[in-house]
A and B are shown apart, each in its own frame.
Chain A
């Protein structure tokens, strides 16, 4: 005979306990969801917003490869890459705060409106806690503004304009990549050594935010050497044929041409300048020279032999020999059969830095994460000791001066490292006039509450 304990009082008691138990997570949720897209399940979603179509699609693809690898490493798959060398040991390959990391991707198309639409969709539909990546300063500034409004963290990808962490800096936005000012500061001493202090420079400049700030930075740093600036001509983005802009250069009496161009424009303007025989000429009794202040491996590949001996700068290069670089190149190279580009590197590092900041803060709350990133000092990520400066959210680290290799053995080593410029040489005050001056401010952190 069975004896049932089912009583009215027992049912009420059990019901009350069960009800309270069920209500408990809701209570926590209602408190925790005070910030945008707080992850409640066993996973957390990152949004990788990169150009998947359009002229920078190759770069975007390389960024995606790196971000995918970073997610694998965070989740404990693969060899761990830079997690082995990263000075912060908070991440242990079990995800972040016990949650597995997953990701969604968006296509910026290298257009500000498309990039914002993609980011908005990932924030609203996919519930991403942060946006990472991109390959244009115009896009970075636009998406950074959106993330600030939405109350999530933006980890910028390849953006080199001073404005991103200058006049357009935001409390929710962070940039690991270097900037135009740093390029100028790093290049100037090398240019002085190679070409002397008595030079006349002619600038061709891409007609948008990045072009302006790079031109301004390079002009300032070369004029500080004693160089004169003969002219600065703005060229439309995607002009294709630059011959009309190149031919007046020789008539101007200039003996250096500085190409403030990136991507396809850089490939075309450099190639055409070489075709017009600029580098074979003697002007003012000196050999005519060309400088490309911002280099990218993927674009250098496109410029072929024309790049030989031409100076430029980079954020990072796979040929560095520090343990962090070696670990990342091994991990990336074995997985994809090619060394990573510097845009891939910055996106990979940004993903790990975000994850580490969350783990250290113990929360996905963007304001807690921002606080953890501000003033954060780290090493082992390929650029030597690095600081995320609290005042403008710009990373300060060594910068590379590069040169087109004379005898590359493969298409991957068309650039060679000339000098690792120490970080102290490229530092500047947070209220520097090129970065918005004293008026520039990060504003308030927004967690979406």
Chain B
């Protein structure tokens, strides 16, 4: 029982990331009809926004400490962050410590602008081209973006920890009456799960309860008719691209304490997220979210030693096996709409 609870918990945070990326992918596909293979790169750039924030807050001046020496035997130059000298070591230290959540402030404008530039500068020229062309150009863009990141940040993973207050773990099992020390769950993973729920709820509320969202939904259903009503649907769809980029970016920012950012992390998530979108049903937002969590949890279960001892290597293929079964039994995915990608 404890093992099942543990794997559900493990699946939730992984599923949260899949759901957020798949949500953005579906938003872009549903509005613009573009299969965006650069979406994983947006997740990765979001994660690097946290790294940039960490470095910005860690900007330091050098102070020579004559009592210590560096590796060449010269007096040691100690780096003192400006924020610590401005606000004192306690408050300054706390600001540096909270750099990952604070990076949200940086990530939203960066990702929205990046989304606009991508859509207006490149992707809009591919609306009328076949999906294969869109996949090729966005995949190429993803490679360019990850190489740019590697050029500036190097190839090694860069650690961006959770704030000290949230970096520990809690005994979830003991809270449910199980033996202590068996079902342990890190605080930050819980934070990530709750954060993703807030973002998903926010996106759905935006689409459901605002006029802008209503027009976008109408455009997703019938772009031509909305255009005939005199509404500039293209402009709204560009904004949706920015929004989708921001969702992917925020998913990346908050994921950094779980997975140290590296330049190819986007690719690892992209393929799985596409499977999530297909399983959920192309163009279906609730489908993407549901499939994200479902596949995340299934993947966790498949990683259990008991399961792997029966079918070795199942953890690597479970997602694809489930995708095959679902597509065979429900060709449009779990919640796919008729007519999407069927022309």
Chain A residues with a Cβ under 8 A of chain B: 53-58, 231, 233, 236, 238, 240-241, 243-245, 247-248, 250-251, 264, 267-268, 271-272, 275-277, 280-283, 298-299, 301-306, 318-319, 329-330, 333-334, 338-339, 409-410, 412-413
Bound CA–CA A231/B304 (angstroms): 13
Residue B167 at the chain A interface, CB threshold 8 Å: yes
- Complex interface residues of chain B between 164 and 192 (CB less than 8 A to chain A): 167-169, 181-182, 184-186, 188-189
Stretch of B21-29, B149-157, B224-232, B244-252 that contacts chain A: B149-157
Are A245 and B262 in contact, CB atoms less than 8 angstroms apart?
no
Bound CA–CA A264/B155 (angstroms): 10
Bound CA–CA A57/B265 (angstroms): 15
Q: Which of A267, A281, A330 interacts with B181 by CB under 8 Å?
A: A281
Q: Which of B7, B150, B186 interacts with A276 by CB under 8 Å?
A: B186
Are B159 and A304 in contact, CB atoms less than 8 angstroms apart?
yes
Are A240 and B265 in contact, CB atoms less than 8 angstroms apart?
yes
Are B71 and A302 in contact, CB atoms less than 8 angstroms apart?
no
Closest A residue to B303 by CB, please name it: A244
Chain B residues with a Cβ under 8 A of chain A: 2-3, 6-7, 10, 13-14, 68, 70-72, 76, 78, 150, 154-159, 161-162, 167-169, 181-182, 184-186, 188-189, 257-260, 262, 264-265, 268, 299-300, 303-305, 308, 315-316
For B258, the chain A residues whose CB sits under 8 A away are: 241, 272, 275
Bound CA–CA A430/B99 (angstroms): 53
Q: Which of B3, B156, B169, B265 interacts with A299 by CB under 8 Å?
A: B156
Q: Which of A233, A250, A339 interacts with B182 by CB under 8 Å?
A: A250
A230 to chain B, nearest CB (A): 11
Closest A residue to B7 by CB, please name it: A244
Bound CA–CA A58/B154 (angstroms): 7
For B76, the chain A residues whose CB sits under 8 A away are: 409-410
Closest B residue to A52 by CB, please name it: B155
For A283, the chain B residues whose CB sits under 8 A away are: 181
Are A318 and B260 in contact, CB atoms less than 8 angstroms apart?
no
Given the known interface contacts A271-B260, A280-B168, the answer about A248 and B157 at a Cβ–Cβ threshold of 8 Å is no
Q: Which of A247, A250, A302 interacts with B156 by CB under 8 Å?
A: A302
Are A251 and B303 in contact, CB atoms less than 8 angstroms apart?
no
B316 to chain A, nearest CB (A): 6
Closest A residue to B299 by CB, please name it: A244
Are B184 and A250 in contact, CB atoms less than 8 angstroms apart?
yes
For A339, the chain B residues whose CB sits under 8 A away are: 71
B139 to chain A, nearest CB (A): 17
Which are the 4 A-B pairs with shortest beta-carbon distances?
A: A244-B303, A277-B169, A57-B155, A304-B159
For B308, the chain A residues whose CB sits under 8 A away are: 233
Residue in A236, A338, A409 with the greatest tally of chain B CB atoms within 10 Å:
A409
Q: Which of B72, B154, B186, B260 interacts with A268 by CB under 8 Å?
A: B260
Are B186 and A275 in contact, CB atoms less than 8 angstroms apart?
yes
Residue in A236, A241, A334 with the greatest tally of chain B CB atoms within 10 Å:
A241
For A245, the chain B residues whose CB sits under 8 A away are: 303
